[in-house]
Amino acid sequence: MTPEAGRVVGLFLLKEHGQPPQAVASATAILDQGIEGDLHGQGRPGWRRQVLIAAQEDLPLFDLKPGDLREQITVSMPGLMGLPFGARLKIGEAVFSITGTCEPCLHLGALVEKPDREAFRRAVMGHRGMLAKIVQVEGEARIRMGDAVELLYPSAAPSSA
């Protein structure tokens, strides 16, 4: 058993582009697709942006709260942004493979009402979160608020993420 690395502190569904995310208490992971009811990853097996996982610890740097970065999962997990590609996280009843960092787009600043969108985009570089795909599910594939986040030490090479 690997030690706990963190906890789920925010869980969100994005129903439409440009709209605020909807906070939920639990969600269902769909193998190699994304989170049920979320617009990212649905119908795109293998896509590297099935889920965005953001670190709660980075949010105060930009005066943001969970969900503002349009992530599906917010975790309290120092070091999230330092994980290598291919690292695996077990969150609830799903295992996620890190596929890369999520670089902020220019319109993100407008969504969170920042006056200088380009300055905000540059500031958030390297802090928006980690992209992941769902590589394994168990049971009902549920992810819940408060679930433990476990770092599963390399079970896959970074190139297979």
Q: What is the CATH number of the domain that holds 87?
A: 2.40.33.20
| pLDDT at 104 (0 to 100) | 87
CB half-sphere exposure, 95, CA atoms < 13 A: 14
> Residue 144 has what DSSP assignment?
E
158 is a domain residue: no
Reading the chain (161 residues) residue by residue, the pLDDT tens digits are 345 689 999 999 998 887 889 999 999 999 999 999 998 867 677 767 899 999 999 999 999 999 999 999 999 999 999 999 999 999 999 999 999 999 888 889 889 999 999 999 999 999 999 999 999 999 999 999 999 999 996 644 444 44
In a domain, residue 9? The reply is: yes
In a domain, 83, yes or no: yes
Predicted pLDDT at 17: 82
Domain that holds residue 91: 4-150
Q: What's the pTM value of the predicted model, to 2 decimals?
A: 0.89
Q: What is the reported pLDDT for 43?
A: 66
Main-chain dihedrals φ then ψ at residue 151, nearest 5 degrees: -85, 115
Task: Tell me if 77 is assigned to some domain.
Answer: yes
138: in domain: yes
User: pLDDT at position 4, please?
Assistant: 65
- What integer pLDDT is reported at residue 155 of this predicted model? 44
Structure tokens at 67: 């969900």
- The predicted structure's pLDDT at residue 22: 96
Tell me if 48 is assigned to some domain.
yes
Cα–chain-centroid distance for residue 96?
9
**Structural domains of the chain, count:** 1
Cα–Cα distance, 2 to 29 (Å, whole number): 21
